[in-house]
Chain A
Amino acid sequence: MQADERTGADAEGSAADRLPDDPVLSVENLVVSYASAAGRRRAVDDLTFEVRRAETYGLVGESGSGKSSTAFAILGLIKPPGQIEGGRIRLEGTDLVGLTREAWRPIRWRRISLVPQGAMNALNPVMRVGEQIGDAIEAHDGRQDAAGLRERIVALLESVGLTERVVRAYPHELSGGMKQRACIAMAIALEPALIIADEPTSALDVVVQRAVAETLMEVKQRIGASVILIGHDLGLQAQMVDRLGVMYRGRLVETGPSRELFHHPQHPYTELLVHSVPSIRGGGDDTLTGAARRARELAAAADELAKTGIPTLRLVGPDHWAALP
């Protein structure tokens, strides 16, 4: 699971120099904490995982599990009272922890980008969508000639299923699904190696959700990027991800291929999440009561396991790790 050692100097080397099985992102022993009245509280505790080239990695957990703090840490967006207390985050060999604002500039958008949760607040409400995408492009590629830039923006919008008309639209003129597509267009504008999608469809209706999810997967494939899909909807994860990591109380309690985790969950908390989605296949009142009871039992079992300190991950199946004693 270890990426090879790289110095800062060759970190900028082209992707071709690297072995294809090098992870795009490796997170090692990450600790993120927040100051509170009762001292520092760890939101992310000794987190280690990697994202491989062109894969979609799902990071799941309930509210407060640390998944959003992990995303923020990777993007260099942890602000006081939050702090990265320890660990390493490396993007294609570049160490991301402790980089200055200046050092982040060539990385954000170009090498790593974000599709935020609830696109409503992510777009600048007083700027036309086209201008916003244009700004992101020019901030990295320098001034462009107007016609060429417009052509590029239109192509980007079309690649996410939006029409040319959207270039001149303000965010409030777009539906939730269209706004989320515009955010995807912005995230892929500079063809980054890694896209972090933070609950990208959580506010959308089921039909629009599927459409946006399909668009994200199509553009990801086209530019060969890896994706971290953060979420709590296990149904959506099953549809989209190659591998899955389950976070519980700031720790990773299970990780492995999606099929393994859905069909053979080892940690009680993973089993809880996997079976918490009501199925439209079979079952009636009795099974719901059973499911509620089982969910409470599993929650208690996960809580019990955590009491003595969550153990480190151990191999429990093919490429499948779980934090079990």
Chain B
Amino acid sequence: MSTDGRTPADARTPADANGAGNPDAPLLELRHVGKAFRSGRGRKATSLVALEDFSLTLDGSPPRIVALAGESGSGKTTVANLVLGFLTPTHGEVLYRGRPVAQLRGRSGTGFRQEVQAITQDPYSAFNPFYRVGRVFDTVIRNFPLASGPEDARAKVAQALDFVGLSPERMLDAYPHQLSGGERQRVMVARAFLLRPRLIIADEPVSMVDASIRATILELMLRLRNELGVSFLYITHDLSTAYRIADELIILRRGQVVEAGDPRTVIEHPQHPYTRLLMSSIPIPDPDHRWQGRIAELQAELNEDLEVPA
């Protein structure tokens, strides 16, 4: 699978028909976005800055996977929630194809809701445990103009499941609890495939999936990019998977970008002390390459470098 052979999907017409915005605008653009959460009232009110002056442009063509990495509290999930329209920015703008995401969430947002999909960390929570898996697809077929009739719908669902390597016979009548974590996550990828999105927000999609299927899920993300032209915002705390699939890597710390660029360059030649600290904390699966020194000392050095009180 070479990176040159990326051919964006051609069958975009239904989504474009009710999609919004300027065709020349980038797929996704965040302009100097800030987000603060306030708590308390009056003089006791405090404000927590979750994200500060964050900018990002995803052209959409060619499709790219942009990884957003950092610890919990670094602001990476805030970015995801802003892009999905679950949060409104305190400062700046979040634009999808040139239009503010806030305007796209409502009735006129059918195109947005089809074109932008989310894959979450815990695939189980995305299912209603009382309904068979098939219902996930029925709902999608009912809400979006994807199929010309029941026959076509069945064929498209089968194709989507085939894409992720699952058998429609076994999956559609099963209940969510009868599936493994990897199968549930692949059903979510199949659902996304069916919708032919242009952008997927993948928030830690492999962190709860068993080892035997982790590489398969990552590979499916690459195939969605290469074969269907899907761009990704890949949110993770795991630099190793970002290294393997991302076209661009952004490292966040306390709501600020500390380093960004080509994943190879960032990981092989980290410039910022925080990136170096993250790198030196990765547990390498080889007993001959154990952690060197003590992390407490490395952290003390970091704080000294950044002149932040410990």
Residues of A within 8 A of B (CB): 62-63, 161, 176, 205-211, 213-214, 232-239, 258-259, 262, 272-274, 276-281, 283-289, 291-292, 295-296, 298-299
Contact = CB atoms under 8 A, between A and B. Distances in A.
Contact of B283 (A176, A232, A236, A258): A236
Contacts, number: 133
A295 B213 contact: yes
B123 to A, nearest CB: 13
Given A278-B241, A292-B216, A206 B211 contact: no
Given A211-B295, A285-B1, A279 B285 contact: yes
B281 A235 contact: no
B212 A235 contact: no
B295 A259 contact: no
A279 B286 CA distance: 10
B244 A259 contact: no
Contacts of A233: 283
B71 A206 contact: yes
B215 A288 contact: yes
B211 A276 contact: yes
B68 to A, nearest CB: 14
Interface residues of B, number: 45
A259 B285 CA distance: 10
Contact of B285 (A206, A210, A277): A277
B291 interface: yes
Contacts of B2: 285-286
A233 B287 CA distance: 13
Nearest to B217: A292
A139 B181 CA distance: 41
Contacts of A205: 71-72, 237
B1 A286 contact: yes
A284 B3 CA distance: 10
B284 interface: yes
Contacts of A235: 282-285
A296 B243 CA distance: 22
B222 interface: yes
B212 A238 contact: no
Contacts of B237: 205-206
B71 A207 contact: yes
Interface string B287-310: 111110011100100000000000
27 contacts: A207-B277, A207-B281, A211-B296, A232-B210, A232-B211, A235-B282, A236-B283, A238-B284, A238-B285, A238-B290, A239-B291, A258-B287, A259-B287, A262-B285, A276-B215, A277-B240, A278-B215, A278-B243, A280-B282, A281-B284, A288-B215, A288-B222, A288-B244, A289-B1, A292-B215, A295-B212, A295-B213
